[in-house]
Chain A
Amino acid sequence: MSTVESHGPDPFDQDDSLIADLGALTAGAPAGLLERVAARWVRVDAAIGGVYVAMTDQGVAYLRAGQDQEEFAASFRGRFARPLLPGGGPPPALVRALRTGRTGGLHLDLRGLRPFEEAVLRAAATIPRGEIRPYAWIAERIGRPKAVRAVGTALGRNPVPLLIPCHRVTRSDGRIGQYVFGAPAKEHLLRTEQVNLDEVGTLAAKNVYFVGSDTTGVVCFPSCRDARRITPAHRQGFRTLAQAESAGYRPCRHCRPGGAPA
């Protein structure tokens, strides 16, 4: 701070070491401090077309499809109330996650979420590519079995769709249900990920929501990779998990029908 800014004699500015030493206590702001305040946006290609992504120093905070840059910026600011600045290139982990679905090495910034919302999204993030789970399964998984409707609301508020695959959560009756980017995008994504949607729909029409193998005695969701390996001759359908269990079947350890904690 230069003394040029001083204005006239000041009775407190005595020419002594205390004043001089106080004046030497300034420090430059550390590099990277702006990144603690502002987010950066990038545009990346995804399975449903180009998406805009906002990142903070903590990780990816927001992803939206079907918006232009101005709409994205406006919706980001409305939700996060932070400055949004142009970013450089997207980080390789983000490009890979959107291309392959593998989210290893990708950090997410979920600070703006309520604990319930975060629990819902963390449960959704465990659903493997190529499989789907009902809303009620998420509710069971997070220990709130009656909060099925609230699960749907929390998934609808997912700030990072695709990266947290909320599109893999579907209705218990076999229909695919709603999606932040619209139901057609949800169906497109699930088919791209090779989910057996047609088979799930056919079974649901027959009131079959669980599939067991009479050789292993294991019961699964119909989209589970284990269920899809059961040969037709050994395939047993069930309307409820309780029916399967009373017939001597145990829940699959991969797809965890009934939402047993991991």
Chain B
Amino acid sequence: MNVTETDIRLPIVAALTEDLDTGFVALFDAYRDVVFSAALRLCGRWADAEDLTAEAFLRAYRALAGYEPQRIESLRPRPWLMTILANLWRNTARSAARHPPPAPLEAAPEAADPAEPAEQVAERSETGRELAALLDELTEEQRLAIVLRHVVDLPIAEIATVLGAPEGTVKSHISRGLKRLRVLYPGRNDEHR
């Protein structure tokens, strides 16, 4: 457990124990960016990421409402929230695979994400958009491990909790995923800036 997460964690757990709804706002404010970033890079679309993040926090609230005080006191919010998010994402991804949306008349893989705010689009580089799209080429577990490790910077131990797998397995998912991305992603290595 790294120092920063521990420092954030304690006042939030204290607030949750004191008053669930006030504590929930503290939890949301502390983790909304990390949960949203992970959601966005898992599902790949801005509007879906908003849905996924809202649903994950709602489920978190409903779970907390049923927890005993001791369970809240021992809560490690970040891997716990990420586990809720990961389960939601896997379930929605699987039901989407079972019920694929009708194919668009014209394939438009480069089209901008319609729900993404304009300033966000302006900030993000073309290479970023390309790399984000390449995450689709990974297996579910590779994508999850790489997004958690390299996009939102979780330590391996927390990712192991989220994946419910040993750290060695997590490292192997990351390693294989990175290897696949290196093949597909020219990145900035070819550029001479």
| Chain A contact residues, CB within 8 Å of chain B | 1-7, 10, 12, 16-19, 21-30, 33-34, 36-38, 73, 77, 81-85
Contact = CB atoms under 8 A, between A and B. Distances in A.
Given A5-B5, A25-B131, A29-B32, A37 B54 contact: yes
Interface in B142-168: 146, 149-153, 155-156
A84 B151 contact: no
A29 B151 contact: no
Range class of the B interface residue count: 35 or more
A1 B152 contact: yes
A68 to B, nearest CB: 16
Contacts of B58: 37, 82
A113 B62 CA distance: 19
A83 B187 contact: no
Contacts of B150: 12, 19, 22-23
A29 B54 CA distance: 10
Per CB-CB distance, the 3 closest pairs between chain A and chain B, nearest first, are: A1-B153, A36-B54, A29-B36
Contacts of B28: 34, 37
B40 interface: yes
B122 to A, nearest CB: 13
Nearest to A39: B21
B155 A5 contact: yes
B33 A29 contact: yes
Contacts of B53: 29, 33
Interface in B164-182: 171, 174-175, 178, 181-182
Contacts of A36: 50, 54
Contacts of A10: 156
A46 B156 CA distance: 56
18 contacts: A5-B2, A12-B178, A18-B178, A18-B182, A19-B150, A19-B178, A21-B127, A21-B128, A21-B187, A22-B131, A27-B40, A28-B36, A33-B50, A33-B54, A34-B28, A38-B25, A81-B65, A84-B21
A28 B131 contact: no
A7 B171 CA distance: 15
A26 B39 CA distance: 10
Contact of B33 (A3, A18, A28, A34): A28
B35 A34 contact: no
A83 B151 contact: no
Given A34-B25, A36-B54, A83-B61, A16 B189 contact: yes
Nearest to B155: A7
Given A25-B151, A34-B32, 12 more contacts: A1-B152, A3-B153, A18-B131, A23-B153, A25-B131, A25-B132, A26-B152, A27-B120, A28-B33, A30-B50, A37-B28, A83-B24
